[in-house]
Amino acid sequence: MAFRDKYDFSLLMNDKERFVVAELEAQLKVRTEVCRCQECVLDMVALALNHTKPVYRVTLLGAIYATAEDDGLHTEVAEAVVGAIDKIYANPSHARN
Ligand SMILES: [Zn+2]
């Protein structure tokens, strides 16, 4: 039996995803020119996550959350999100409205 079939890898999650989504929501409040369709928002999250160091954990173990109180972590996420917004705004994967 392959590992893929034997174990539930959906229990793995990257804690940075929560931070990136929250940071994107905050930054888009003042970037009203940026498209917020499903495609663009997911593209921005994916791009920002690819520019941050992942923090994976197993959800079964419960709420052992990394905290965003770490300044270095917040700076990394904020910079990755700024970059992702600028890039997707300049090059959306759909025609501009
Ligand atoms: Zn869009």
CA of 62 to the centre of ligand 1 (A): 34
Q: Which residues contact 87 (CB under 8 A, 6 or more apart)?
A: 47
Per-residue pLDDT at 95 = 87
Sequence letter at residue 3: F
pLDDT, tens only, 20-44: 999 999 999 999 999 999 999 999 9
CA of 91 to the centre of ligand 1 (A): 10
Per-residue pLDDT at 54 = 95
DSSP per residue, 46-66:
HHHHHTS---EEEGGG-----
Closest CA to 43 of 96, 75, 9, 91: 91
CA of 31 to the centre of ligand 1 (A): 13
75/55 Cα distance (integer angstroms): 15
pLDDT, tens only, 45-97: 999 999 999 999 888 755 555 555 567 788 999 999 999 999 999 999 998 76
CA of 10 to the centre of ligand 1 (A): 27
CA of 35 to the centre of ligand 1 (A): 5
